[in-house]
Structure 1
Amino acid sequence: MENPELVEKSGKRVVLLGNEAIARGAAEAGMGLCACYPGTPSSEVGLSLADMAKKVGFYFEWSTNEKVAAEVAAAASFSGVKSMTAMKHFGLNVASDSFLPLAYTGVRGGLVAVVADDPLGHSSAQSEQDTRFYARMGNFPVLEPANAQECKDFTIKAFELSKRYEIPVILRTTTMVSHSIGTVKLGRIRKPVTKGRFVKDPSRYNNLRPNLQNLHYKVLDKMAKLEGEGAKLDRVEGPTNAKIGIIANGVSYNYVKESGARGARIAKLNMTNPISREFISRFLKGLKTAIVVEELEPFIESFVREVALEANPGVKVHGKDVFPRVGEFSPEIVEAGLARLKVPGVRPKDFRKHDSDMKKIKLPARKPVFCPGCPHQFTFKAVKNAMGKDTVWSGDIGCYSIGIFEPYNMIDWVISMGASQGMAHGIKKVSNQKVVAFIGDSTFFHAGMSGLANIIYNKSDPLIIVMDNSITAMTGHQPHPGTGFNAMWEQTTPIRIEDVVKALGVKHVAVINPMNQKSMEAKVREFSRKKGPAVIVSRCMCQLLRKRLIRAGMITKEGKLKSKRKPVRHSGLTGGRESHSG
């Protein structure tokens, strides 16, 4: 195993990532099935569970995308099996079409959705999305851990609440919680129940009118009861007679504790949807000032302001008037905000000097770079030489997104997984410009086939470059339908991208190794003049993967297969506590 501490015996204290602790918590809860699609900062949840699966006895899979993963987990839960899915925040966008109705239908075995938000965009290009609004819109309870121990404990609690109230529970983390390392006290791993039986029940699974409204009433009733659960989970510390109160969640709570705010009463919200109105009302009693410390949107702050109108109309509520709505927090940001509000115990002079000193240091911003020898560099070079600079470059999500930076400047936008082809088609319908769409192999299986089908169906002719490096590289080298093996390291029938493209009806299809620059350039020039859609599969193995396979004795330096042994566990290459930029 990559981290043998994940399956250590009960009672031991071990050091785990927050994401690893979530995986351990799932095992201790008796989870029987987990289906995920990798997406940083959530990837290590799946990587850890993939490693643990056969030893503990549950089923794990990397699904083709987050929507499919949510469907797999939901169906298992319908059958009475405790299930989990894990994804990054944008993954919930993909899964939402299937996930949101689950609050209405409910679940039987318990279903936990781990969703990792990414303030500051450490590993996310598109936006600083706040998952909590999905929970409010869809009526899902949300638990937010602040450290590795809570990641494990809250996972177990999430399964318990999901089972008891028959509703999916979101375990929301952020990058700093998912990727922090802490000491975790282990509990007993429960033997998982991996087989169940679906029992037909039209009263809950028929969500068409007129039953839809009945289901809506039921989920609202569940959420009202869950407010009481939130009041039990949330906690208050500090002097009861304090006139200043601080309300915080997740990693923000850690920063509040580090600030030295000893004279304030502190409320730690562990359940942030639904927030207990009674808990907040009691906390606000007697306060002159209430300070809400939360990253991103004023989700908690808005609720606190609403409750304060009745509970304590005279209290002054602060939040985004002091703390930024953009980026992630740090101890310095939180301390500076609390100092500005004159919270006892926080010394403002230290932070003014710190800010002044930091402004004097002008460090150049480091852009992400490709790994040495990355084949995507050669694809970009050949395509640019063949097409020229005045081409519209439609980008997608993957290592190749780095092509948006100099010296390549070959991606004009990064919207979402699979968007490159739909966007390229849109440009072609309103412009005579040359258009090239770049999409990766894993992304093609995730969300690319429907975009290509639309291009064929609606008679468009962009040039599509599928950048196939034989693995889902950027999130930690997970397998996908084209690799020939699955998350349980079982050999499967590889789905060849060129076969799928031809089956969809594309007549102009070629597979080229981008290291052969002359052939690649010639084929790009040829295909750019074709009528109708044309697809080039630029196929060359990720160089990090290639090195690992050579070290393992699986292939020669020339790339030829040496052994018929089962595939090497690629997750160890860049998963766990390591990552890479390309």
Structure 2
Amino acid sequence: MANPLLNEKGGDTHLLLGNEAIVRGALEGGLQVATCYPGTPSSEVPDTLYKLSPGGKYYFEYSVNEKVALEVAAGATLAGAATLCTMKHVGVNVAADPLFTLCYVGAPGGLVLLSADDPGCHSSQNEQDNRIYARSAGMPVFEPSTAQEAKDMARDGLKLSRKHGQPLLLRTTTRVNHLRGPVEFGPAPDPGKVEGFKRNPSKYVPIPAFARPMHLALMERMEALREEAENSEYNTVTGSGKLGIACSGISRAYVADALDNAGLADKVTLFELGFSYPLPEKKCLDFIKSVDKVLVVEELEPVLENDLRVLAQKNKLDIEILGKDVLPRHGEFTVTLVENAIREQLGEAPVAACDCPLPELPMRPPNLCAGCPHRGTYFAARKVFGDDAVYSSDIGCYTLGILPPLQTADFLICMGSSISAGGGVAQASGQTVVAFIGDSTYFHSGLTGVANAVFNSHDVLLVILDNRTTAMTGHQPNPGVDKTVIGENDHPLDIEASVRGLGVTEVRTVNPFNQKKTLAAFEELKALKGVRVLIAKEPCPLYSRRVYKKVAPQVAYVADSCAGRFDCLDKLACPAMFKEGGKAAVNPILCNGCMLCLQVCGHIKAKKRGS
């Protein structure tokens, strides 16, 4: 049975994840090309498109990084294709170089860039607000607050972008990406054939002589889009109270719940902006003039607040505009937080946050999975280098090496930085540096770091943790994999060959579950100088079970001879192991049969699973 997301007819209603709703909206908007680099909270959008691609009428690819993804998308839209490019908020930093110029060049086929922001740092290293990127680059912004709007805005964003030839930012946040809600489908007709690229150098080649008029054309397009925002159904004013509330994105949902809980809807005038940029200035002015005070409710930066302040000042309006004076500039909002901010402005007593007693739960710090090959690599690195080395880490599930007892992450900057920043530490201080990077991250932005390290003769040991997938964000393929969830990778790239091709002469490849060989390789490389690489190659056990259909044949257990030293627990911290009756024990359900514990403590033996 075909996936309902591919149904060309409309009228049905389905309960969808926000990210699934974006997929449906893109298909309704005539999607022809989709590119991405996966990153939570955006990952389910490309993952869904990937799984649907055998039956879809669009081209999809996992690109090696966000810059490349946007460049492929740029070429596609220049060829006339309706295009979607997805990434998480920090990915836009990587894509910023082509993004700013693309906004000059334009998007003839239509291009929506999904930026999934992450207030609260649920799965990210910062909380940046990418509405600021849109204002700097020159992009209209849609901000959905429900699953239905996520679908509708993805659809309308492609159409609006194509109409005006301007890339559009679909700005979501974690709560929008991961909420579930009813979504009524519209028709998703066959998008047809891509028109093809039409030469026009003065429009598409931004040499200085052409770039200057391109900038003027961009500003003209943005003014035309401002008129679209003035008349957009996504920008609404309701109520007639003297307190004005302006809100955008998921904050609209918080405000709606807060007003409903407090019964204060009749005391406010509510201005909701779903099409938040270019600012619909006429509608904003009418709103400001109709109230005595304005409270701006938006997560993270005071973007809308500052827009309204500037507008009020330019029009000499004497009105109090509040925002970050009373609401935080960091983290996610809650309904209670927003309700109390509204109550304060209306002179109402605040409500207390729920003080319902919660049951005491066991502490569960994040940990590498049972059977994760990174544990073997980290254990060996610590055994050889201990605290004598500085450990440079990178972005991935392997960053969990920061936790004791492994403690192999001393600093981290961004994707691909482990080799570059590690080289910086080594060159500046002379300290021994061991840098870790995953296979997907290596292809994302590690190759240039290796090239730089070789060129500048850095003294650093790079450990490439090749677990055959992009594990942290959901087992997406990368250029080095040989097998994916929907079939073989016809062109797998060899990591060792690429490293040698970049000029590294000292390279070792090991299976980290073979501790004898892994320790020997670390000792060999420790004795050398310059750039050297250890490739720790073993599939992620979850991916192996899912894609390679590999089931561990054995499970470790503690024999009666266990002396209760607990080396296996204290040195590995494997979540499959626990203490029982003064001895170490293994949970056979969690155990993946890696047998690493057998190599750490000779008292542990193995038996057949189920025996």
Q: Confirm or deny a common fold (TM above 0.5).
A: yes
Aligned match of 1:465 in 463, 466, 477? 463
Cα distance in 1 for partners of 2:465, 2:384 equals 16
Cα offsets for 1:10-45 (capped at 9, x unmatched): 211001111100001111111111011100000000
In the alignment, residue 250 of structure 1 is paired with which amino acid? G
Show the counterpart of 1:328.
332
Q: Does the alignment pair 1:209 with 2:205?
A: no
In structure 1, what residue type is equivalent to 2:247?
A
Range that drifts further, 59-68 or 514-523: 514-523
Match of 1:580 in 2: none
**Secondary structure of the structure 2 residue equivalent to 1:492:** coil
For residues 17-32 of structure 1, what are the structure 2 equivalents within 5 Å?
17-32=17-32
Q: What displacement does 1:135 show?
A: 0.6
| Alpha-carbon offset, residue 413 of structure 1 | 1.7
* Contact in 2 for aligned 1:66/1:87 (Cα 8 Å): yes
Question: 2:509 corresponds to which residue?
Answer: 511
- Contact 2:423–2:458 at 8 Å: present in 1 too? yes
CA contact (8 A) 1:379 1:514 kept: yes
Classify 1:264/1:152 alpha carbon distance in 2 versus 1 (closer, same or farther; 3 Å).
same
Pair 1:338-2:342 in alignment: yes
Deviations 1:363-402 (A, max 9, x none): 8875322112111111111101111113211110000011
Matching residue's letter, 2:276: T
The aligned length equals 547
TM-score, structure 1 as length reference: 0.90
* Segment of structure 1 superposing worse, 449-458 or 193-202: 193-202
Deviation of 1:230 (Å): 1.1
> Hey, what does 1:441 align to over in structure 2?
439
Retained in 1: the 8 A contact 2:340–2:351?
A: no
Cα distance in structure 1, aligned partners of 2:193 and 2:73: 12
Partner residue in 1 for 2:135:
136
Equivalent in the alignment of 1:254:
253
Q: Tell me, in whole angstroms, the C-alpha distance in 2 between the residues paired with 1:192 and 1:407.
A: 54
Asked whether the 8 Å contact 1:31–1:193 carries over to 2, the reply is no
1:539 aligns with 2:537: yes
Equivalent in the alignment of 1:407: 405
> Aligned equivalents of 2:407 and 2:110: distance in 1?
47
Quote how far apart the aligned CAs of 1:203 are: 1.6
Q: Distance in 2 between matches of 1:449 and 1:491?
A: 21
Q: Tell me whether 1:265 sits opposite 2:269 in the alignment.
A: yes
Map 1:54-453 onto structure 2 (within 5 A).
Answer: 54-124=54-124, 126-233=125-232, 234-240=234-240, 242-260=241-259, 261-262=264-265, 263-311=267-315, 313-342=317-346, 348-351=349-352, 354=354, 357=355, 366-453=364-451
Instruction: Report Cα offsets for 1:130-180 as digits up to 9, x if no partner.
Output: 101111110111110001100010011111111111011110100000000
Compute the displacement of 1:336 (Å): 2.2
Q: Deviations over 1:298-333 (max 9, x none)?
A: 000001111122557332111001110011112122
Deviates more, 1:510-519 or 1:144-153: 510-519
Contact 2:427–2:459 under 8 Å retained in 1:
no
**Structure 2: any 5+ residue segments left out of the alignment?**
555-611
- CA 365–333 in structure 1, closer or farther in 2 if over 3 Å, else same: farther
Q: Which residue of 2 aligns with 1:574?
A: none
Distance 1:521 1:269 in 2: 58
Q: Which of 506, 521, 524 matches 2:519? A: 521
Q: What do you get for the CA RMSD once the two structures are aligned?
A: 2.1
Matched, 1:16 2:20: no
Whether contact under 8 Å (1:473, 1:542) holds in the other structure is yes
1:464 aligns to what SS in structure 2? strand
Q: Distance in 2 between matches of 1:212 and 1:488?
A: 43
Cα distance between partner residues in 2 of 1:11 and 1:150: 16
TM-score by length of 2: 0.86
1:491 aligns with 2:489: yes
Query: Is residue 40 of structure 1 aligned with residue 40 of structure 2?
Result: yes
Q: Distance in 1 between matches of 2:156 and 2:485?
A: 26
Judge conservation of contact 2:21–2:183 (CA < 8 Å) in 1.
Answer: yes
Partner of 1:570: none
Q: Distance in 2 between matches of 1:54 and 1:191?
A: 15
Separation (CA, whole Å) in 2 of partners of 1:27 and 1:238: 32
Q: Distance in 1 between matches of 2:291 and 2:146?
A: 28
Measure the CA separation in 1 of the matches of 2:336 and 2:300.
16
> Aligned in 2, Cα 1:236/1:26: closer, same or farther, shift over 3 Å?
closer
- Looking at structure 2, the residues matched to 67 and 365 of structure 1 have their Cα atoms a distance apart, in angstroms, of 39
Provide closer, same or farther for how the CA distance between residues 445 and 247 of structure 1 changes in structure 2, counting only shifts above 3 A. Answer: same
Question: 2: distance between equivalents of 1:155 and 1:162?
Answer: 11
Contact 1:79–1:198 (8 Å) recurs in 2? yes
Cα distance in 1 between the residues matched to 2:545 and 2:488: 22
Contact map agreement 1:62 1:487 (CA 8 A) in 2: no
Distance 1:56 1:161, change over 3 A: same
Shift, 1:182, TM fit: 0.5
The structural deviation recorded for 1:358 is 7.2
Alpha-carbon distance, 1:65 to partner: 0.7
Q: Indicate if the aligned counterparts of 2:81 and 2:195 stay in contact, CA closer than 8 A.
A: yes
Query: What secondary structure is seen at the aligned counterpart in 2 of 1:238?
Result: strand
Which shows bigger deviation, 87-96 or 200-209? Answer: 200-209
Moved more, 6-15 or 176-185: 6-15
Q: Could you tell me the percent identity over the aligned residues?
A: 40
| Unpaired stretches in structure 1, ≥5 consecutive residues | 560-582
Q: Hey, what does 2:51 align to over in structure 1? A: 51
Q: Which residue is 1:568 aligned to? A: none
Task: Return the index of the structure with the highest Cα Rg.
Answer: 2
Between the aligned partners of 2:547 and 2:52, the Cα distance in structure 1 is 22
Contact 1:59–1:194, Cα closer than 8 Å, also in 2: no
Aligned pair in 2 of structure 1 residues 427, 57: CA closer, same or farther (>3 Å)?
A: same
Distance in structure 2 (CA, Å) of the matches to 1:333 and 1:376: 41
Give the distance between the partners of 1:84 and 1:6, measured in 2 at CA. 16
1:391-443 deviations in whole A, cap 9, x for unaligned?
Answer: 21111000001112333221112211100000011011111211010000000
**Which aligned segments of 4 or more residues in structure 1 are displaced greater than 6 angstroms?**
358-365
Given candidates 502, 506, 510, the residue that maps to 2:500 is 502
Name the stretch that deviates more: 512-521 or 86-95.
Answer: 512-521
Name the structure, 1 or 2, with higher relative contact order (CA <8 Å, separation 6+): 1
Q: 2:433–2:461: 8 Å Cα contact kept in structure 1?
A: yes
Aligned equivalents of 2:350, 2:128: Cα separation in 1: 34
